[in-house]
Structure 1
Amino acid sequence: MFSKIKIGDMAKLNQLSIQTLRYYDEKNLLKPIEVDSATGFRYYSIEQSSLLDTIQLLKALHFSLEEIRSFLYDDTNEQSLEQLLIKKQLVMREQIQELTNQMRWINHFQKGKQILESTEGETKIVVTSFARRNFYLYRIPKNVYEMSEGEYEFYLRSFKNQLKEKDFRGIFSCVGTVMNHRDFLNGHFSSKQMFLEKQIIPLEGFQTYEAKNGLYAVMYCKGFKNELTVLHYFREALLIDFADDYQVVGDYLCEVVDEFPEQAREGKREMLIRMQVRVEKK
């Protein structure tokens, strides 16, 4: 009864389609034990189900059919199943890192929207605490605050391309800038450093910047064009209204916390900026 099974019955027993078994035959993965020369009907043996289970298992682990065929039938292939699984495990770990990174950025954008809604129209400074943060750092030859929008976009491309040369596989978005705290205090607004938050997938050989944990004076503004105007107010408020309680001890960070893709179709880069500088209580 089980030594010669019609293709339809074999497919039903293994919860596969007839088309799948035909395809496996074409790909030399699972050949029928007999093909009727007159009718072309394919017949299988129940014992071949173990091979089908192996094929389905490897497919579930995202091995390609070519990889499966090579493992099963290529005598020159010296890799054991264990070696193949170790390789696949490494690939899957990278995929998990990529998915984790994508989830972090989705959460990042969602938080940005929430911040935008809660701070819309506000011009106040708050002092809050941040954990240590690490960024990829990119130095540029021109002061960001003296750039046109076109120049700004050009240096963003340069930053992105240099990351790509280092095999960066993360998400390039929400690029910020750093200003030395002395320049900030002196009102000499100059920034020649761009940064991007470090991501889950490690990137070797790229300069980094660390924003230390501690208290930060924070204010929000919307748009690349508006930052310089608001920056004057931000600095003066810190040096006058907050001077009795806090002193500036860190660099000024222009951290982009959200971008608005709906503006991109009009050739505009709109963003929500978190203006911040590390402070200490006096």
Structure 2
Amino acid sequence: MKDKLSIGEFAKLRNVTTETLRHYDRIGLLKPIKIDPKTGYRYYSILQHEELGTIKELRQLGMSIDEIKKYFNNRNLKQSFNILKDKHNELRKRIKELQQLEESIGEKIKHLEDISQVSDFHDIVIKEIKEREIVTFDKSIKNEIDLGYACIELENALKEISPIVASNRYGTIRKQKDIESNKYTESVVMFLFIKDKENIDEKYIKKIPKGTYACMYYKGTIWDMEVNLQEMIEYIKKEGYRVCGDVLQIVQIDISVTDQSEEVLFEIQIPVKKY
């Protein structure tokens, strides 16, 4: 049983690498008790085991080197308590973020699994859809440049983790009056479905009412809606329905998950009522 240990012996004793100990020496976190002036060999005391063990555990708690230095600076009960409490709060926040991220990824996987099974493109079906909430700034888009700025503005309004990639939350609105006047691209407005209203100005939040919708999937671009919309309007009239609200165009598969244009998928949803 000896007090003075070589760097290799001390590293093995505490299950760290010798390079870790050299790094701690260089940055002044844990200095050896002696360095042989001739050989440059570092020697540590067995009495330093507690300090190295504490450093290991603080690193496991996610503390940075600077935070650990602060922890060891004039250590006392109150300071150690406050530092650990702060780190605990940080970890709880991170755990919450990871739980939200896990939920988000699960929803994305479920969406892609479901939407990949769709094969009845251009078939029109009647669905009952629950109430939804969106955020929109009611700015008309006319081209790809307008679209790019609108997407950025909407994404910046969300305070969620990874809200857009592989999701079906983007969409556009065509006003009912424009549809009835055959002005399908007169006033196209971008929106995003929202899950969490926190930090979003209430004046930009709107409700999409629950109800009966005529729906159809199509492949193409956001601007390829007109011919499909005309087909849907004819179907709606033929089946004894009437349009009773604004038309939604929802991105189901977009460039966040594919660069194959033939895989990009949209859904048109038109609120309808029986005459």
TM-score of Structure 1 vs Structure 2, range by shorter chain? 0.7 to 0.9
1:235 to 213, 218, 233: 233
Displacement of 1:163 after TM fit? 4.0
Q: Deviations over 1:203-256 (max 9, x none)?
A: 433712333344432111111243111100111111222x1xx55444311001
Give the gaps of 5 or more residues in structure 1: none
| Residues 97, 200 of structure 1: 8 Å contact kept | no
Residues 71/130 of structure 1: CA separation in 2 closer, same or farther (3 Å cut):
farther
1:162 to 153, 156, 164: 153
Equivalent residue, structure 2, for 1:212: 209
Distance 1:2 1:199 in 2: 63
Distance 2:129 2:61 in 1: 40
For the residue of structure 2 that corresponds to 1:140, the secondary structure is: coil
Equivalent residue, structure 2, for 1:177: 172
Q: Comparing 159-168 with 124-133, which one deviates more in the overlay?
A: 159-168
Distance 1:58 1:249 in 2: 62
**If the length of structure 1 is used for normalisation, what is the TM-score?**
0.76
Distance 2:136 2:268 in 1: 18
2:220 to 223, 242, 247: 223
Distance 1:2 1:249 in 2: 88
| Residues 1:192 and 2:191 are matched in the alignment | no
| Residues 1:108 and 2:105 are matched in the alignment | no
| 1:128 maps to amino acid | K
Q: Comparing 24-33 with 201-210, which one deviates more in the overlay?
A: 201-210
For the residue of structure 2 that corresponds to 1:12, the secondary structure is: helix
User: How many residue pairs align between the two structures?
Assistant: 263
Q: Comparing 183-192 with 225-234, which one deviates more in the overlay?
A: 183-192
Distance 2:56 2:31 in 1: 15
Distance 1:81 1:235 in 2: 63
For the residue of structure 1 that corresponds to 2:246, the secondary structure is: strand
Displacement of 1:192 after TM fit? 3.1
Displacement of 1:137 after TM fit? 1.1
Residues 160/70 of structure 1: CA separation in 2 closer, same or farther (3 Å cut):
farther
| Residues 215, 280 of structure 1: 8 Å contact kept | yes
Distance 2:49 2:212 in 1: 64
1:273 to 257, 266, 270: 266
**If the length of structure 2 is used for normalisation, what is the TM-score?**
0.77
Equivalent residue, structure 2, for 1:18: 18
| 1:217 maps to amino acid | A
2:247 to 239, 248, 252: 252
Q: Deviations over 1:166-215 (max 9, x none)?
A: 57564446631012334445544243320123256954337123333444
| 1:229 maps to amino acid | V
Displacement of 1:99 after TM fit? 5.2
1:90 to 93, 110, 113: 93
| Residues 100, 200 of structure 1: 8 Å contact kept | no
Give the gaps of 5 or more residues in structure 2: none
Identity of aligned residues (%): 28
Displacement of 1:9 after TM fit? 2.1
Displacement of 1:270 after TM fit? 6.8
Residues 44/210 of structure 1: CA separation in 2 closer, same or farther (3 Å cut):
farther
Equivalent residue, structure 1, for 2:69: 69
For the residue of structure 2 that corresponds to 1:278, the secondary structure is: strand
